[in-house]
Each structure stands twice: as C-alpha cells, then as structure tokens.
Structure 1
Amino acid sequence: MTTMNMETTIIPLVTDEQKQAEEIWRKSIPAQVFLNYFFAINYHIQEADDAMGGLQHLPFFRAHQAELTEADVQAITKLLHASWSTEYALRATAELGDEDYLRNALHWTFPQAYHTIMAGLQAFLYTAGVRSNNPSLIRREVGRLVVRNAYPRPISFYAAGAYGDFSIHRLPLAGYKAGLHIASKEIDAQAQIGQFLRTTRKLKAQATRQQVQANPNTALRSQKTGKVLDKWTAAHWQQITWRLGYTTIFDLLGRLRISQTSREIERFVEAEIDFKLFHQSLLNIVSYLNGIHETYVAKAMGLERYQQVVAELPKHLQNSFVQERLHTRVEPQLRDNEPTMRMAA
C-alpha cells in the first residue's frame, strides 16, 4: 500500500483583503466619528426644528431691536455678502461634486462652512452691539447669547465646568455612550453631540492651560518652590475655568478650521466615509444657522430694508438660497411685526 503525501491547503481565517479592509476602517474611524458628530447635529436640528426655525417662541428674539445708522446697515450688508458668497461657493462644490471630488474638496469646504456661519454671526452680533472681528471676543459673546436663550432649542446646548467635571446643558440624553455609527435615533444624536462638546471643551481647556503656563505672568506656580507647575490638580483646573467661557455649537464648528497644509485633513481625505452625507449635513447646518442670523438682522434692520438688501444682491446671488430663506424663514416671522430699526442721526 502506497501512501501519498498530500499537501494540505490551509485557508487563512483572515484574508489579506479582509486585513486591508479592516486597516482602512481603523484609519477611517477618526473621520467617521467627525462625520457622525455633524450628522448628529443636523439630525438633532431636523428632529426638533419647526418650519420657521423656532425663533418666534423666544423672548430674546421678540425683544431684539437696534438703532442703526445707514453706515451701520452698510457694514452689516458687507458681512452678509461675505456670508452668502461663501455659502454660494460651498453649495457649488456640493452640487458639482461626485464622491471623489467632494473628498478632495474638504481642503476648502471645511473652512468655508466655518467662515460663512461666522460672517453671518458677526452681522447678528453687530445688531446686538458687539462690533468686533476678534475671534475670542466673538466666541465669548455668542456663548453668552446661547446660554441666554437667543437661539432655538435644537442649537441651544452647551458645555460648562472645569476640566474633568464638565456638565452638558439642554441635551438630556447626552450622558449616554456614543456609538461609532450614524445616528438613527435622537438618543444616538444627543450622545454624539454630548461627546463632541466634551472633547472640544477638553481640547480648549488643555490649550488654555498651555497658554497660561507658557506666560510667566499668568503661570500657576508651586507655593513651595515658586516653579511653574507641571502637574495640575482639580483645583488648578478650576482656576482657569473662567477663561474657557461656554462651549457651544460655534466651538464645534470651530473644529472645521483645519488648514490646507494640516496632516489632519489628509486623514479625512484618505478615509472611507460618506462624503456626500458629510457635505449635506454641513450644508443643512449652515443654512439653518445662517437663516437664524438673517432673521435677527432683518428684525433689527426692519423687514422692508432687509428685503431691499436682498433685492440688490450681486448677480451670482440673485434668485438663490438667499431669497428662498427670505421667503421661507425670515418673512413668516417678521411680516406681522412692526419694523424695529430706528435710524439714528
């Protein structure tokens, strides 16, 4: 009897293709989490929003008025034009782009989404008496406005407190553990927004500590040796909490400011995520926030004067999303109101 040595074929449990797919997924996780955050914000807005954006229910909005000179109106108009032109560019990218184009467009769509909202915010702040382009001042003032309920419920959430002891407000489900998947329920969305607030506030606290400790005049020192402290206790973190202000949706949007040369942007470009969904989420958030700021500006300026600003738009902005928001968001909330602008001498 002859025996034949048969070569046994061993089938690996994990193929090279599977390993590669797993590696791509692992590398994509940070980008996926970032997408989840913005999808969650958009989901939360869509779930909670009413047709007009919820401003009409806010005492802060009803009381909002301003005394504006013609020069003020021109300054506000300039800010609005900056906001609208940037949003126009952002929308053009989303409309023109296929998946690959949108992937590489992140280099400019991230900052565009941030800057269009910031310009609109500055226009609103101008009518509220805050006339500055200092980012720290703007951040502080808008944080206060969020806490004072100047914004509708879907975006009125914020984080406060010292490092290691953050508290999340106006997001009752934020304490739940955030998953790695796109939100399909309100609990998922709030958990992910809560996590985004905490991580963003943590980064801000760490950056503030670094800034404070790098300055000999502000650095916290050892009471025994007088040397700058390397290790901090909860009490030390508490001492810089006042510098943090509140962490709001505007801080979350600030995370979009990733420079074109940053290695972090490459991590997103190379990731396997749904770029169309990312852009759509960003666009929806942009449109929602810009609509709120436009309504505040129109109330301060007077609806008729605001309609005139829109009627005199540059050619590329005529018959666009600006008019659409005027008709669907701004006019319904102001049509029955008396114009509140008093032209100053």
Structure 2
Amino acid sequence: MLNGWSAEYALRITPVVNDQQYLHSSLHWTFPQAYYSILFTARALLLMRGCSVSNDELVARKVASMVVSGLYPQGLNYYLTGTPHDYNAKRLQGGAALFSVLTQTRDKQLKKQGNQVQTNPKTAMRSPRTGEVLDKLGPEHYKALADQTGPTCFFNVLHRLRISSNQPNPDVLTTDELDVRELHACLVELVNRINQVHEAYLAKALGLDNYQTLVAGLPGYLNESFVNERLNTLIPILAK
C-alpha cells in the first residue's frame, strides 16, 4: 500500500507546479504514476484476499475478474468482452469515447496475445490441412484468443496508456491537443476512486482499528493528507 500511496502522492503534487513546460513534460511520468498507484494497491488487496501475484498481466486478470463480479461501484464496473467486430460492452455508461478507448485497448490485448500464441511452436494455431502455422486468423481463432485474454476493464486501459520518458506511447494525444491540468485532474480523481475502493475492502478485511493503526504509522505527507481524508469517509461506513 505504501508504494501505491506514494505514487498517488507524486501524481497529486504535479499539477501544483505553476510551470507550463514542466507540466507538459510531466506527461512522461503522469500515466506511470497513475498506473503504478492502482497496481500496488490492487496487489495489496489481492494479497489480503489470499492471492499473491506480482506479474502485471496476472494482476490485470484478477482485477478484471473482480470487476465482472461486481466488486467495483458504478463508474468503475464496466468491461468489454468479445472479438473484433463483435465486442460486447457491459455496464458501460461513458458513451462512445470510453467505448472507443476500451476497443482500442482490447484490440492491442488480442494482438499481443495472438503474437505470443503464434510465435510459440507449442501453442501456435495451425492449418488442419497442412499443419502449417496460420498467417491469418479467423473468427474462431480470435474467439480462442479472447477467452485466453479475459475481459478488458479500466485497469487494462491505464496499463496501455502508461508512458515513460524513453518509451513514448503513440496512443496518447500530443500535448498540443491536451489541457494538461485537466488531464492531471481527471487522473487524480480516477486514481482516488479506484484506491478508495481498494482501501475500503482492505480496511474491512483488516478491521477498522487495525487499518487506522496502519494509516497512523504512515509518513506525515500521507497520513496528514488524502489517505487520512479517505479513511475519515470510511469510518462511518465500516463502523456500522
């Protein structure tokens, strides 16, 4: 949790800087901060649920499973299944823009899964007639890839959009097209909502007193800021 909260803290303080050039440059670490914050808090939650995983893709599948199971509230509980040209959105209320982001993300997931499968002689799908590895996959092959990939949710989107200074992501809009402060604000709010859910489940599992002790032992920059503020919203809920 400490790693997740520290990443969220770093994300939150970036927009405070009143320097436009710095803010535009910050896009190279803003998405990683958002992604790794929810990754670490998700790992903590999964560990509390008896599942110790560190691989990003395994964490993504576990989070997607929790989304499908309804463990996330409205606004975070949407997901996408299916194959290209036959995608099926569930609980999606974000309109065409969010659907487009989800489909782009799932396209890349299926392409990556297909590459992994087809470049491995042991798993490659082959022609039943010649036994040769298929160069082009059909609907039935994509269905198999979709089953292996699992659902696509918010976690997969943030994973795709993470960028770094030496690996710019071509899917992210250029800074000329962005209101960087607004983007930061949206990411902060999204991470806040996701981590609040993770904290609620964690606090319930640990017990309110134990969770309060955990928060009280954090460095001041965390226990005197958003972490404690979110705890205060949980107290009346968990104290019932």
- Say if 2:2 is the partner of 1:87: no
| 2: CA distance, partners of 1:264 / 1:141 | 25
**Cα contact 1:83–1:116 (8 A) shared by 2:** yes
1:1-345 superposed matches below 5 A: 80-171=1-92, 189-264=94-169, 268=173, 270-328=175-233, 330-336=234-240
Aligned partner of residue 236 in structure 1, secondary structure: helix
Gaps of 5+ in 2: none
| 1: CA distance, partners of 2:180 / 2:74 | 28
The one-letter code matched in structure 1 to 2:33 is Q
The one-letter code matched in structure 2 to 1:246 is P
Aligned partner of residue 218 in structure 1, secondary structure: coil
Higher RCO (Cα < 8 Å, 6 or more apart): 1
Q: Relative to 1, partners in 2 of residues 1:237 and 1:202: Cα closer, same or farther, differing over 3 Å?
A: same
Q: Relative to 1, partners in 2 of residues 1:146 and 1:335: Cα closer, same or farther, differing over 3 Å?
A: same
**Cα contact 1:99–1:276 (8 A) shared by 2:** no
The one-letter code matched in structure 2 to 1:286 is V
How many residues matched? 240
| 1: CA distance, partners of 2:65 / 2:184 | 29
Q: Relative to 1, partners in 2 of residues 1:216 and 1:97: Cα closer, same or farther, differing over 3 Å?
A: farther
The one-letter code matched in structure 1 to 2:238 is L
**Cα contact 1:163–1:238 (8 A) shared by 2:** no
Aligned partner of residue 125 in structure 1, secondary structure: helix
TM-superposed CA distance for 1:270, in Å, is 4.4
Q: Relative to 1, partners in 2 of residues 1:163 and 1:128: Cα closer, same or farther, differing over 3 Å?
A: same
Aligned partner of residue 271 in structure 1, secondary structure: helix
Q: TM-score, normalised by structure 1?
A: 0.66
Aligned partner of residue 168 in structure 1, secondary structure: strand
Aligned partner of residue 217 in structure 1, secondary structure: coil
TM-superposed CA distance for 1:259, in Å, is 2.9
Q: Relative to 1, partners in 2 of residues 1:96 and 1:263: Cα closer, same or farther, differing over 3 Å?
A: closer
Q: Relative to 1, partners in 2 of residues 1:265 and 1:225: Cα closer, same or farther, differing over 3 Å?
A: closer
Aligned partner of residue 251 in structure 1, secondary structure: helix
Gaps of 5+ in 1: 1-79, 174-188, 337-345
The alignment yields a C-alpha RMSD, in angstroms, of 1.7
**Cα-to-partner distance string for 1:100-154 (whole Å, 9 max, x where unaligned):** 2211011111101100111111111112221111222211111111111111121
The one-letter code matched in structure 2 to 1:130 is C
The one-letter code matched in structure 1 to 2:54 is N
Identical-pair percentage: 40
**Cα-to-partner distance string for 1:166-211 (whole Å, 9 max, x where unaligned):** 100012x6xxxxxxxxxxxxxxx32211111111111111111111
TM-superposed CA distance for 1:97, in Å, is 4.0
| 2: CA distance, partners of 1:231 / 1:267 | 29
TM-superposed CA distance for 1:266, in Å, is 10
Which structure: larger Rg? 1
| 1: CA distance, partners of 2:78 / 2:52 | 25
TM-superposed CA distance for 1:225, in Å, is 1.7
| 2: CA distance, partners of 1:191 / 1:142 | 23
Q: TM-score, normalised by structure 2?
A: 0.94
Aligned partner of residue 159 in structure 1, secondary structure: strand
| 2: CA distance, partners of 1:127 / 1:100 | 41
